A and B are shown apart, each in its own frame.
Chain A
Amino acid sequence: MILSVDKVEFSYRSTSVLKDINFEVKRGNFVSILGVNGSGKSTLMKCINRILKCNNGMILVEDNDIKKMKEIEIARKIGYVPQSSEKGFFTVFDAVLLGRKPYIKWDVSKNDIEIAERMLKIMNLEEYALRYINELSGGELQKVVIARALVQEPQLLLLDEPTSDLDLKNQLEVMNIIKKVSSTQNIASVVVMHDINLALRYSDKFIILKEGHVFAAGGREVITPETIKEVYGVEVYIKNFEGIPVVIPRSQ
């Protein structure tokens, strides 16, 4: 088991955000976390990565208690792509190379450079290597951010709404890359998603949060019109198209 979340609770001061969260993720899993805004999806991601410290419960990454790990050990096991926008004035190559931070003391080794170059190739970013990141489109920039998380050589990849600002083409391209890299490198990906259809297309496991609880968890079978009505308050049809379920909202 690569990730085990056991009875996790988290509160911002007196406001309880996560309540009794339990789930497990295996190596190679592609897990989507779904739920309405404010249901605790991003908070859960930050707790897994110990950016926020959960109040109760235990999170194990490859059987290591996250509370007892050093920051650098966490960074070598978990690659994190946050929701917030990218700042700074770096070239694409330097921005990706920064992902080697958990391994670099001061000098950049030949190995670090080779890993960064290889990732640029995988992400089709080679021709942008010397461009500054503020000159990139949203899709290109998102690929840079994902590339940086991947050069950390993580066992677990956490992505918080990686497709939220992208057009359809870029959404598919980014999701294809995550899926491909996850499977070729045999790592687990946990992705916060708002687009249920995109989640259905790529994920093999779903965790649906409602008001800080796990409302439903499992394979595609948990995505039902009843679940969506209960969680999102929206009535939908679910039709199969080319073997993939598609969620279609009913006319109001």
Chain B
Amino acid sequence: MSALLEVDDLSVAYRAEGGDVAALRGVSLTAQAGEVIGIVGESGCGKSTLAAALIALLDANADVTAGEVRLNGRDILSLHEDARRKLRGRDIAMIFQDPMTAFSPVLTMGDQIIDFQQHTGLSRAARRERARQMLLKVGIADADLCLRRYPHELSGGMRQRAAVAAALMANPALLVADEPTTALDVTMEAQIIHLLRSLRTEINGAIVIVTHHLGVIGELCDRVYVMYAGQVVEEAPVDDLYHAPRHPYTRALIACDPGAIATRQGVLPTIPGRPPDLAAPPPGCSFAPRCPQADATCRSTAPPRVRVSDRQAALCHKVVP
């Protein structure tokens, strides 16, 4: 059986002055229906580009240089723009990072959420009623008032609940959430995580959560892909990733997670150095310049993808099966 979502060796480059920037370099991942996938990495690792590719909404200056994104076996990136547009909001839905700016400031929430259901062909009144029901489901008590409000009249948590509701109303095969809790404060974040967890069963398709926050991954996901410099450096079920991380970058990432640090220290641990320049990626392992275990081979030769179990693999010279 082929997976619901298959990303196969996907490479995406941004055209820029002074050379192209390789944002994704041979990324592969799969997601089954009912599965929640996490994509984690620091800023600039390509996870937002991956999210944009998953909903077939890459920027105009982005080129798919290799690979495919297949949804139910169909390559969505090679479709005509009109066909891609029809996928969005129906088969694919997205929850955006910043609920502050994700909605148009000059239209009411109701107006927008009604527009977002345009593919249903229902009357505006019927769409409004659907929206009302869904808002109640995501925990907005006064759904009618919420629909009449403008985005700036709602709290960040309310807006993100409304964004979740809008995405759920598409009843999508694939739900992509790009940093769904990053712009929220801690209490709101907990509420939204709780909401997404309770709604997991509502969604028949796969959920992909893109975040830099390991806590969110731990709370929500079944499997995790760790990204670094446009590549997936490790994939593992969430428990294995926390308890037996194999790639040095994953280990460093977990060591830096403030939520996971057991003993109080004077300074937060950090990963020294910075990610490589993706306009000119290093010849060997991308993480080698920052890796404590790196040797001459790491710096000169691209690392192999080493399978440590049927569900865990790492892109590293130092990992032995």
- Chain A bound to chain B: no
Q: Which positions in A face B, CB cutoff 8 Å?
A: none
